[in-house]
Structure 1
Amino acid sequence: MTDGAAYLEVSQEQGAAFFGSPGEGPVVMLNLLRFRETADYTHAPDLAPPAPVSGAEAYARYMREMLPLLNRSGGEVLLSGTSANFLIGPAAEIWDHVLLVRQNSKASFLAFASDPESMKITAHRTAAVCDSRLLPISAD
């Protein structure tokens, strides 16, 4: 069940719980993304395109710039796509984009996410997304 709040960043508590929990192997991140109608670059005006773009366009730019860094870190996109409605789940909960990203370990994910170049590029994601979910999945 959702609480109606938008989720855009990892909370300190959730980050500590994830990185502090056992597990050394690969991790797959399930990303559910809802885009803004118009990307909001107020937090990073130096990265804003000359004319307004949609959230989907800003996210596409984020992925184009981020993919080489992700691949260099040992990560890979397993799936990137769209979906309409849940087959099982709330009919009103609609996501614009679904992404599965694999990293070799939590440590490699943290190194990738905290890299200064990666952090700068993430401003495009921030401009693009109005709500998201990120669910780490470990193999049994």
Structure 2
Amino acid sequence: MAQYYIDPSREGFDAFKALPRDEPIHMLNLLRFRDEAEYPDGHDHAGKGWSGRRAYQEYGAASGPIFRRVGGSIVWRGAFQAMVTGPGDKDWHDGFVARYPNSGAFFEMIKDPDYQLAVVNRTAALVDSRLMRFEPGEGGDGFG
């Protein structure tokens, strides 16, 4: 049976917090959208019939200014085409890598009251996601 993830686990978030906080980080985001967004009853966007993708666009519009204010930027973005290695039942709609100047900037973003309002759109939009932290490395012409 497939398992789905929207929010960090306690263990995953604790591992993130235990890593160095004073160096640049890259966050790989993999997204699978709901056919129809699922907002809580009474939310302004509940009942609008938005797709998950549309709800995620709302999340991006509302959280983007906060993301940029803390120094975040998107360093790569792509649309899923095929699973070459990995479970065949796990297809993603979109993926991107967000760069933060340090994990403190990420914490500043997620603690912002306006971000906390915006993240409801992300939760409504996604049926599954992955968020993975990486230490940035150098590009080049080889795999090693």
TM-score between both structures, scaled by the size of structure 2: 0.87
Amino acid at match of 2:12: Q
Find out whether 1:89 has 2:83 as its counterpart.
Answer: no
After superposition, residues 1-140 of structure 1 pair within 5 angstroms as 4-22=2-20, 24-42=22-40, 45-48=42-45, 51-140=48-137
Amino acid at match of 1:82: A
Percent identity of the aligned residues? 31
Count of residues in Structure 1 that have an aligned counterpart in Structure 2: 137
- Distance in 2 (CA, whole Å) between partners of 1:52 and 1:69 is 27
Measured after TM superposition, the shift of residue 50 of structure 1 is 5.6
Indicate if the aligned counterparts of 1:85 and 1:91 stay in contact, CA closer than 8 A: no
- Tell me the alpha carbon deviations over residues 28-54 of structure 1, each in whole angstroms, 9 at most, x when there is no partner: 1100011110000026x3331662110
Following TM superposition, where does structure 1 have runs of at least 4 consecutive aligned residues deviating by more than 4 angstroms? none
- Distance in 2 (CA, whole Å) between partners of 1:109 and 1:47 is 27
Measured after TM superposition, the shift of residue 66 of structure 1 is 1.3
Indicate if the aligned counterparts of 2:40 and 2:46 stay in contact, CA closer than 8 A: no
Structure 1 residue aligned with 2:141: none
Indicate if the aligned counterparts of 1:41 and 1:48 stay in contact, CA closer than 8 A: yes
- Distance in 2 (CA, whole Å) between partners of 1:23 and 1:72 is 18
Structure 1 vs Structure 2 CA RMSD? 1.7
Amino acid at match of 1:48: H
Looking at CA atoms only, which structure, 1 or 2, has the larger radius of gyration? 2
Alignment gaps of 5+ in structure 2: 138-144
Measured after TM superposition, the shift of residue 88 of structure 1 is 2.6
Amino acid at match of 2:17: F
